[in-house]
Amino acid sequence: MSDVILQLDSISKKFDGKDILKDFNLELHRNEFVTLLGPSGCGKSTTLRIIGGFVKPDSGRVLFDGTDITNLPPEKRNVNTVFQKYSLFPHMTVAENIAFGLKLKKKSSKYIADKIDYALKLVNMEGYGGRNPESLSGGQQQRVAIARAIVNEPEILLLDEPLGALDLKLRHDMQRELIKIKKEVGITFLYVTHDQEEALMMSDRILVMNKGIIQQEGSSKSIYDEPQNAFVADFIGESNIIDGIMVKDLLVKIQGVDIPCVDTGFGTNTPVDVVIRPEDLEVVSKEEGFLKGTVTSVIFKGAYYEIKVLSDGYEWMIQSVNPAPVGEVVGLTVLPDNIQIMHKPASDDEEVVRDE
Ligand SMILES: Nc1ncnc2c1ncn2[C@@H]1O[C@H](COP(=O)(O)OP(=O)(O)OP(=O)(O)O)[C@@H](O)[C@H]1O
Ligand SMILES: [Mg+2]
């Protein structure tokens, strides 16, 4: 059996004459937790709907275990979806909601009762079977929605911003819980979010999407540490992104100052985007720094200080465990390893998107 459970092969979809997905390719491996991450309107839900069978692509194929299922109706696909808004049936109890799909499949009442017990335990909702959905909190309703999907034993679970309607604290609890559930049930998860922190925390693999195109794909760590373009860098956490000139291998000019870096292969005197994460910049005395600037603000953020330093018209953001004196001229340093050099976007499209 191949490790690839689902494949989107060159999918294109237009709405109202506008390209939403164009030549879109995706492979899901068995038991993976993959996240589609991207801004609103980039085509994440459309991708899930195509996999679920609710939207038909204009061209391209959906392959499940190597079989073409592009024209198969949703109920014939071994895939279940959990949506952002808890879509529980309001006139049924929690247990009846969970049993719904199993009854359609004509499972025995013993089988159904066992499954309900198992699923409620899995989502930490033991004893809630007799309750009505409207008597539950948002987080509890979403747990039931997940339980209802899981009892059908789908091979792939599609989750479209399932925690989007929850407050931050509950979101964090549910993130941990979903990881636990994923480990326990051993199915493939395709998760959609526009919350980068959530994606970084939960996923085996992340696909960063913009305008229906995958910008970068990889592990949380590789995407965070090695963004391939300014869009990804900007979208994944706060970053300093500034114009630079790659003078030659291992040397980049930023704000007129030559600074050692570790990148090669950009040629000589090539305009580039330079990305430096706030936690990688260090405030030092003005004599010691590569760059000099004035501290414009210092805000304590709980675990660190967020310091802004204005230098040559650019406001650098720095995260540091030490505060800095507002109004004072300071120096900034960065280790060569922590400077990311990226090609300038090839098309105007990418540039526009970056400013959104
Ligand atoms: N049925 C439809 N008819 C017309 N346009 C649609 C339809 N469904 C989606 N679109 C458009 O396609 C684009 C992508 O929508 P999609 O729902 O896939 O985005 P998304 O990435 O899920 O965004 P969000 O994060 O806001 O949920 C949007 O511009 C949307 O307006
Ligand atoms: Mg969506």
pLDDT (tens place) for every residue of the chain, 356 residues total? 579 999 999 999 999 999 999 999 999 999 999 999 999 999 999 999 999 999 999 999 999 999 999 999 998 999 999 987 778 999 999 999 999 999 998 999 999 999 999 999 988 899 999 999 999 988 899 899 999 999 999 999 999 999 887 887 888 888 988 898 888 888 999 999 988 888 988 999 999 999 999 999 999 989 988 888 888 988 887 789 899 999 999 999 999 999 999 999 999 999 999 989 999 999 999 999 999 999 999 999 888 999 999 999 999 999 999 999 999 999 999 999 999 898 886 654 444 344 33
Which ligand is closest in space to the CA of residue 24? 1
Kindly give the number of the ligand 1 atom that is closest to the alpha carbon of 209: 21
Instruction: Give CATH 2.40.50.140 domain extents, the chain.
Output: 238-343
Kindly give the number of the ligand 1 atom that is closest to the alpha carbon of 212: 14
Alpha helices in 9-161, H assignment, sequence order: 44-52, 94-104, 109-122, 138-150
Q: End-to-end CA distance of the chain: give it in Å, rounded.
A: 43
Burial class, 116, CB count within 10 angstroms (exposed 0-12 / middle 13-18 / buried 19+): buried
The pLDDT score that the predictor gives to residue 322 is 94
For ligand 1, pick from 12, 46, 51, 207 the residue to mutate: most ligand atoms within 8 Å of CB. Answer: 46
> Coil, strand, or helix at residue 29?
strand
The pLDDT score that the predictor gives to residue 61 is 98
The Cα–Cα gap between 172 and 169 comes to 5
Indicate the helix (H) or strand (E) that contains 223.
Answer: helix 220-225
Name 33's bridge partners.
Answer: 189
Q: 84: CA distance to ligand 2 center in Å? A: 9
Q: What's the predicted TM-score (pTM) here? A: 0.80
321 close to 306: Cβ distance less than 8 angstroms: no
Q: 42: CA distance to ligand 1 center in Å? A: 7
3-state helix, strand, coil in the chain (%, to 5): 30, 35, 35
Ligand 1 contacts (CB < 6 A) are 15-16, 20, 38, 40-46, 194
Q: Which residues are near ligand 2, the ion (C-beta closer than 5 Å)?
A: 45
Q: Residue 339 CA to chain centroid, in angstroms? A: 23
Kindly give the number of the ligand 1 atom that is closest to the alpha carbon of 49: 18
Instruction: Give CATH 3.40.50.300 domain extents, the chain.
Output: 4-225
Beta strand 33-37 with 205-210 is parallel
CATH topology for 4-225 is Rossmann fold (3.40.50)
The pLDDT score that the predictor gives to residue 351 is 43
Q: The domain 238-343 is classified under which CATH number: 3.40.50.720, 2.40.50.140, 1.20.1050.10, 3.30.230.20?
A: 2.40.50.140
The pLDDT score that the predictor gives to residue 347 is 54
> Coil, strand, or helix at residue 261?
coil
332 close to 318: Cβ distance less than 8 angstroms: yes
> Coil, strand, or helix at residue 39?
coil
Kindly give the number of the ligand 1 atom that is closest to the alpha carbon of 44: 21
Q: 40: CA distance to ligand 1 center in Å? A: 8
Indicate the helix (H) or strand (E) that contains 230.
Answer: helix 230-235
- Sorted by sequence, the CB contacts under 8 Å of residue 199 that are 6+ apart come out as 35, 37, 191, 193, 206, 220
Q: 260: CA distance to ligand 1 center in Å? A: 44
Per-residue pLDDT reduced to its tens digit, 11-45: 999 999 999 999 999 999 999 999 999 999 999 99
The pLDDT score that the predictor gives to residue 355 is 36
Per-residue pLDDT reduced to its tens digit, 135-161: 998 889 989 999 999 999 999 999 999
187 close to 194: Cβ distance less than 8 angstroms: no
Which ligand is closest in space to the CA of residue 211? 1
Kindly give the number of the ligand 1 atom that is closest to the alpha carbon of 36: 21
Q: 327: CA distance to ligand 2 center in Å? A: 44
94 close to 136: Cβ distance less than 8 angstroms: yes
Alpha helices in 61-188, H assignment, sequence order: 94-104, 109-122, 138-150, 168-185
The pLDDT score that the predictor gives to residue 237 is 76
Residue 274 CB neighbour total at 10 angstroms: 25
